[in-house]
Amino acid sequence: MASSPATHDSPASVRVMKYAWRSSDFDPNFDFPETPNLKGYQYKFWVVFPNDICTGADSNVSISSGALHTFLNGSSYGCYTSALAHQGHFPWMRAGHWGAFCEDQVYQPDFDCPDGTYGIKAVIQSDFPSRVSADLSFSSVKVDNASQDALYVIYVSAYWWFDQGAATGVCKASTSGCSTGASMSAHWIETQIRIGTGVWRASNQSWTQTPVGTQTSWVTTRVDGVKGSFGYSNEPFSISPGKNMTLSNYDLRHFFQGALAYWSIPASTHAVLLGYEVGTEGYNAIVRADFRLARYDVYGPDAALADTNFDHSIDSHDIADVSAIKGHCPGGEVIADWGTYRWNDDANNTATQAGSVNGFCIDEYDMATITTWLGASY
């Protein structure tokens, strides 16, 4: 990508492509309250989800008073539970996730079926500079059953989709879910920035924190047995109970490149960031942590907002995509449009616009934005 404005000629005008930092996720300050167990169209931005499939787990998560509140109430040894907020698309979203219109997303995202009816605000592509900032407090941790080992992880995560086809990686000796040296292919990779990881050893009755710089990898397997994605984590930070921490503009693109290198995936492999996950997970642990900020930013050209299929070119395909659903709005605003509205076709979502329910409806403003950049590449 260019590091300075680029000029493109058009029949009617000269367009100047400007680059700027933009927030990628909606509601980074957790201003909009959310509670669990709602219908899909009732979640506007973040979907809050306590995963309590394990026997004895009783976690909770909510958004209120400008914070994401996570309460991880762990289960028995080895059975993971979580208290998370999601936004966007994930490989574990199976057919019917929010309704019959939802397709399986293990190979590609279904843009009319995101977590959060508004989808993503500005897509981060792996060849653009990107960053993440967070502000959190880690209130407390205790072991549930001291006679068993325990684990907790506090993190912010990014799910990248390989938009040009599946990537192939190589499993390391420590990779969970595949054999040492084996090759595997997947369409997604989760990159987990671990802010704090604690391990309880029943043998010595004490907590220890995972050292900064520790890397791990895994293969996610869905409940239906399908392998969903590569997984990668690193521990750039370490937070102790009773402490606060602020992450400022942590280099997300560099972290993604580190994940590719760890999996022996070529550095040139392109991806788009389509899913955000923030919260706590683990087993046999009781953890309280609150996030007051989780903001993902991208530095890219304004023309990229008009590129509905992320192929670095604004063309007739983008026009056709928008034309097909013109007049539709997010399900959070017009329930009847839930399952029809595609957030990636909203090329102009900057403000409320005359004649629309809101600036997120697909309308003449989106068509005008794409027309302005028609024929441009970046």
Every domain of the chain and the residues it spans: 22-301, 307-373
**Separation CA 352–CA 281 (nearest Å):** 37
Segment 58-63 shows an average pLDDT of 96
Give the pLDDT confidence score for residue 358 in this predicted structure: 67
Q: Say what the pLDDT of residue 15 is.
A: 79
pLDDT band at residue 186 using 50, 70 and 90 as cut-offs: very high
> Average pLDDT over the chain, rounded to whole?
92
Distance CA 119, CA 132 (A): 18
Looking at residue 351, its pLDDT comes to 52
Check: CB of residue 273 under 8 Å from CB of residue 124: yes
What was the pLDDT predicted at 357?
52
- pLDDT value at 355 more than 60: no
Give the pLDDT confidence of 95-150 residue by residue, as tens digits. 999 999 999 999 999 999 999 999 999 999 999 999 999 999 999 999 999 999 99
Per-residue pLDDT, averaged over 317-331, amounts to 95
Averaged pLDDT, 24-52? 95
Per the model's pLDDT, the better-predicted residue between 191 and 358 turns out to be 191
Q: For residues 234 and 222, which has the higher predicted lDDT (pLDDT)?
A: 234
Structure pTM? 0.93
| CATH number assigned to the domain covering 22-301 | 2.60.120.180
pLDDT at 52: 84
The pLDDT of 208-214, averaged and rounded, is: 97
Supply the pLDDT for residue 352: 53
* CA torsion angle 201 204 210 211 (round to 10): -160
pLDDT attached to residue 14:
62
Please write down the HEC assignment for all residues of the chain: CCCCCEEEECCCCEEEECEEEEECCCCCCCCCCECCCCCHHHCCCCEEEEECCCCCCCCEEEEECCEEEEEEECCCCCCCEEEEEEEECCCCCCCCCCCCCCCCCCCCCCCCCCECCCCCCCCEECCCCEEEEEEEEEEEEEECCCCCCEEEEEEEEEEEECCCCCEEEECCCCCECCCCCCEEEECEEEEEEEEEEEEEECCCCEEEECCCCCEEEEEEECCCCCEEEEEEEECCCCCCCCEEEEEEEEEHHHHHHHHHHHCCCCCCCCCEEEEEEEEEEEECEEEEEEEEEEEEEEEEEHHHHHCCCCCCECCHHHHHHHHHCCCCCCCCCCHHHCCCCCHHHCCCCCCCCCCCCCCCCCCHHHHHHHHHHCCCEC
